[in-house]
Structure formats: structure tokens, C-alpha cells
């Protein structure tokens, strides 16, 4: 049967039998980096097209439909356009930080890829603090945004950067707390443990109402953390003319744009891992026959299916609601999401201690 695990094992055995260990490790690193960059490029193309199509259909439009069959190659054309465009740097900008900022955002997105399990035993780094690592490293991306906003020497950019900073710092709390509910139920931060604990059913189904509440809060909070509508105050086109990336053009702008979509993919992958079981096929308790049939679908397809379902959910969310005002944004976090998720985590702790989950 097709599995990514077999392929990686074959490659690893071949490498270690042909080269000495240090050199083989270096080659493996190079392969992983190439794969990550390839994944990024592919995701950028697919997600941008998907977003435009979803947005169009939700708004009763057709969306891109001229380049290629059904507009399939629209994003390829856009990418070529962005590569060929001149990358302007404003005269009074802090040139070093201005050039560095898009790379910081991009590198953070790359680092976040490390602990994600794409399929059974197909994971770059199964770090033992997986979830904590993700929430720690994702807080770095705000630095890139603040750098971009300040270095542009533009008041709109600076305002956008500050809004984005305030937003990410406050929504990190409830995102962290909703991640903690699953950690409490699993008793481990490691991604592989969390997935293994869902072998007899996903936490969304096993964990009763508190986990569903945590899931909803997680989706809202990560939408805010990735600066997407309805929480896109950081770039609010109508108020700040695109906020922190007002002054960016050409390839540097493309990096920001790509990083936004990569971040969506990553948070959705984390959400799928925590609440929908990652690559774990849909298993229901002790229905052995049913579970066995589900196992025939490759784990990578399960993972991608769940992730893209969550991405669709976030896009649906985005194209339905109007943008929040700043005070509404902070009210939502501090008066509603945070108290509710605190109460929720107490409930989950009680459930976990008494073993009330399935």
C-alpha cells in the first residue's frame, strides 16, 4: 500500500549506507529544506486560487476564469508578474530592516513546519514540546510585522504594525488556552502522542461540549493571529491602505503574501492535529470493521483533507463577516473569549481527572 513512511525509510537507509553519518545528515537536511520550499510554493499557488474561488462563490460570482481552464493558472500568472516587478524601497526607510522583515516572517513560517506530522511517521522533528514550540515560535512572526511597519517610515504602516502587535499578543492567550484543553486531555505536548491518543476517536467527538467550545475559540483566535478578516485591522485596506506592507512591492510583497497563506495552512494543520486527529483515520470506538475500512485511505490524505476542511472553514468565516472595530476586537478577546476559555479549561480539567471522556 502507498505510504510516505516507506519512501522516507528507503531514502534514509540508502543515504546512511552510502555516505558517512554527518554527511548523510547534511544531505537529509538539504532534502527537507527543498521539500519545505516546494511545499510552500505549491501551497501559495493552491491556497490563493482556492481563496479567490471560495470568495467568489460565496459572493455569487465566478472568480478568476480566464487564465487556463476555469482560471486554474491565474496564480501562476500573478506570481510571474510579482517576480518581474520592481521592488521599491522608500527613500527614508531603514533599508536594512526593510529588507530583512519579509524574510523574518518567512523563516518563522518555515520553522513552524518542523513539528507538523503530515502522515504516519512522516514528520520533520517530533520534538517533545511540539505544541508549546508552535505557540512560542508563532509569537516571533509579530516581530517581522513590527519591523516592516517601523522600517517603512510610513504612519499607516506603523499604525498597522502596532494594531497587529496588540492583536496577536492578546489573542495568543485564548489560542493557548484552547490548545491547553487538548493537552490536558492527552497529558502530553508531543504531537505524535496527541495523535496517538485519538486512535479511538477524535477529541472533537470524544471530549464533549468543552472541547467543541475550545475548538470554536481556537478557530476564532487563530484567525485573529494570522491577521485575516474579520480581524484584518492590521492591513485594513480602507483605513490604512494595507497597513504594514503598504510600502512593499514585487518579491518582498510576495513573501508577505505567501507567509500569510503558509501561516493559515500551519494553524489549520495544528487545529486538525489537536481536534481532528491529524493523520489518524476516522475511528469510532470499537467498531473494528469500520475502523479497518477507514485505514485503507492513506494517512496523508486524511491529514490534507482535514487541514483543507479547516482552511475552507476559515475562508468561509472570512468572506461572511465584516471587519471588527478596534474596541470590538479587544472586547471580544478580553470580555468574551478569555473568560470563557478559562472556565472551559477548568471544566476540561475536571473531565480529564474524573475520566468522563470516552
Partner 1 sequence: MSASAIIFYLIAAFILGAGILAVTTRKIFRSAIWLLFSLVGIAALYFWMQVEFIAAVQIIVYVGGIVILIIFSIFLTQQSGKEMAKPALQKNIFSALAALFGVAFIGKLISEYGFTEDQSKPFNVGVGDIGTQMLSTTEHGYILPFEVVSMLLLAAMIGCIVIAMKSKDNIISKS
Partner 2 sequence: MFLKDYISEVYTGVSSLLKGMRKTGYYFFHPKEIITEQYPDNRDTLKLAERFRGEVVMPHDENNEHACTGCTACELACPNGTIKIITKFDISPEGKKKKAIDTFVYHLELCTMCNLCIESCPSDAIVMAQNFEHSVYDRSKLTKKLNKPDSKIREGIE
Site for partner 2, rule CB under 8 A: 54, 57-62, 65, 216, 316-317, 319-321, 336, 340
Q: State the greatest distance between any 2 C-alpha atoms of the chain, in Å, as a whole number.
A: 68
Of 16 and 319, the one with the shorter C-beta distance to partner 2 is 319
Task: Burial-class residue 231 by CB neighbours within 10 Å (0-12, 13-18, 19+).
Answer: buried
Q: Site for partner 1 (CB under 8 A): which residue of 3, 65, 99, 188?
A: 188
Query: Which of 199, 184, 111, 148 has the alpha carbon at shortest distance from 346?
Result: 184
In whole angstroms, give the CA distance from residue 28 to residue 13. 11
DSSP 265-304: HHHHHHHHHHHS-TT-----TT-HHHHHHHHTS-HHHHHH
Supply 8's cell numbers: 522516507
- Smallest separation, CB 146 to partner 1 (Å): 6
Q: Which residue(s) pair with 117 in the sheet?
A: 123
Of 56 and 129, the one with the shorter C-beta distance to partner 1 is 129
Q: Is 67 helix (H, G, I), strand (E, B) or coil?
A: coil
- Smallest separation, CB 69 to partner 1 (Å): 45
Count the Cβ atoms, other than its own, within 10 Å of residue 29: 11
In whole angstroms, give the CA distance from residue 213 to residue 275. 11
- Smallest separation, CB 333 to partner 2 (Å): 14
* Residue appearing with cell numbers 523574518: 104
The partner in contact with residue 325, picked from partner 1, partner 2, none with C-beta cut-offs of 5 to 8 angstroms by kind, is none
Q: Site for partner 1 (CB under 8 A): which residue of 127, 196, 216, 282?
A: 127
- Smallest separation, CB 57 to partner 2 (Å): 5
Q: Which of residues 44-63 bind partner 1 (CB under 8 A)?
A: none
- Smallest separation, CB 94 to partner 1 (Å): 7
The partner in contact with residue 292, picked from partner 1, partner 2, none with C-beta cut-offs of 5 to 8 angstroms by kind, is none
- Smallest separation, CB 319 to partner 2 (Å): 6
Count the Cβ atoms, other than its own, within 10 Å of residue 249: 15
In whole angstroms, give the CA distance from residue 210 to residue 48. 33
Between the alpha carbon of residue 168 and those of residues 70, 188, 234, the distances in Å are 37, 25, 10
**Residue 18 in contact with residue 135, Cβ under 8 Å?**
no
- Smallest separation, CB 199 to partner 1 (Å): 19
- Geometric angle at alpha carbon 117, from 14 and 180, rounded to 5°: 150
The partner in contact with residue 50, picked from partner 1, partner 2, none with C-beta cut-offs of 5 to 8 angstroms by kind, is none
Q: Is 183 among the residues that bind partner 1 (CB under 8 A)?
A: yes
Of 42 and 62, the one with the shorter C-beta distance to partner 2 is 62
The partner in contact with residue 136, picked from partner 1, partner 2, none with C-beta cut-offs of 5 to 8 angstroms by kind, is partner 1
Of 321 and 356, the one with the shorter C-beta distance to partner 2 is 321
The partner in contact with residue 54, picked from partner 2, partner 1, none with C-beta cut-offs of 5 to 8 angstroms by kind, is partner 2
Binding mask of the shown chain, residues 252 to 281, with x at each position contacting partner 1 by CB under 8 A? ------------------------------
Q: Site for partner 1 (CB under 8 A): which residue of 30, 37, 169, 350?
A: 169
The answer for residues whose C-beta is within 8 angstroms of residue 88's C-beta and 6 or more apart is 247, 249, 250
Of 65 and 188, the one with the shorter C-beta distance to partner 1 is 188
Q: Is 143 among the residues that bind partner 1 (CB under 8 A)?
A: yes
Q: Site for partner 1 (CB under 8 A): which residue of 158, 211, 214, 324?
A: 158
- Smallest separation, CB 159 to partner 1 (Å): 10
Beta strand residue intervals within 106-160, DSSP E: 117-119, 122-123
The answer for residues whose C-beta is within 8 angstroms of residue 318's C-beta and 6 or more apart is 55, 223, 228, 229, 230
Q: Is 117 helix (H, G, I), strand (E, B) or coil?
A: strand
Binding site for partner 1 (CB under 8 A): 22, 25, 92, 94, 96-97, 127-129, 132-133, 135-137, 139-140, 142-143, 146-147, 150, 153, 158, 162, 165, 169, 172, 183, 187-189
Amino acid at each position: 500500500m502507498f505510504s510516505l513512511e516507506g519512501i522516507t525509510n528507503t531514502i534514509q537507509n540508502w543515504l546512511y549506507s552510502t555516505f558517512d553519518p554527518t554527511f548523510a545528515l547534511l544531505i537529509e537536511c538539504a532534502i527537507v529544506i527543498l521539500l519545505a520550499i516546494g511545499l510552500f510554493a505549491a501551497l501559495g499557488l493552491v491556497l490563493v486560487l482556492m481563496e479567490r474561488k471560495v470568495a467568489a462563490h460565496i459572493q455569487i460570482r465566478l472568480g478568476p476564469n480566464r487564465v487556463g481552464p476555469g482560471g486554474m493558472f491565474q496564480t501562476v500568472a500573478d506570481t510571474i508578474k510579482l517576480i518581474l516587478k520592481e521592488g521599491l524601497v522608500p527613500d527614508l526607510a531603514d533599508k536594512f530592516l526593510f529588507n530583512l522583515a519579509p524574510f523574518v516572517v518567512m523563516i518563522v513560517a518555515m520553522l513552524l513546519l518542523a513539528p507538523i506530522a503530515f502522515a504516519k511517521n512522516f514528520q520533520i522533528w517530533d520534538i517533545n514540546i511540539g505544541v508549546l514550540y508552535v505557540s512560542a515560535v508563532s509569537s516571533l512572526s509579530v516581530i517581522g510585522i513590527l519591523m516592516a511597519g517601523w522600517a517603512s517610515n510610513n504612519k499607516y504602516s506603523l499604525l498597522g504594525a502596532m494594531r497587529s502587535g496588540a492583536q496577536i499578543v492578546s489573542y495568543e492567550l485564548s489560542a493557548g488556552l484552547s490548545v491547553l484543553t487538548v493537552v490536558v486531555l492527552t497529558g502530553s505536548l508531543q504531537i505524535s502522542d496527541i495523535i496517538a491518543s485519538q486512535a479511538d476517536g477524535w477529541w472533537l467527538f470524544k471530549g464533549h461540549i468543552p472541547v467543541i467550545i475550545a475548538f470554536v475559540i481556537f478557530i476564532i483566535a487563530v484567525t485573529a493571529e494570522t491577521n485575516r478578516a474579520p480581524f484584518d485591522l492590521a492591513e485594513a485596506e480602507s483605513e490604512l491602505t494595507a497597513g504594514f506592507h503598504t510600502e512593499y512591492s514585487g518579491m518582498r510583497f510576495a513573501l508577505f503574501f505567501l507567509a500569510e497563506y503558509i501561516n493559515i495552512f500551519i494553524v489549520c494543520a495544528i487545529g486538525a492535529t489537536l481536534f481532528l486527529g491529524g493523520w489518524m483515520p476516522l475511528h469510532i470506538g470499537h467498531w473494528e470493521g469500520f475502523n479497518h475500512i477507514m485505514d485503507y485511505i492513506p494517512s496523508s490524505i486524511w491529514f490534507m483533507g482535514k487541514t483543507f476542511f479547516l482552511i475552507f472553514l476559515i475562508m468561509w468565516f472570512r468572506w461572511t463577516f465584516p471587519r471588527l472595530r478596534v474596541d470590538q476586537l479587544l472586547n471580544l478577546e478580553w470580555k468574551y473569549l478569555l473568560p470563557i476559555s478559562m472556565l472551559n479549561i477548568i471544566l476540561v480539567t475536571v473531565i480529564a481527572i474524573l475520566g468522563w471522556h470516552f
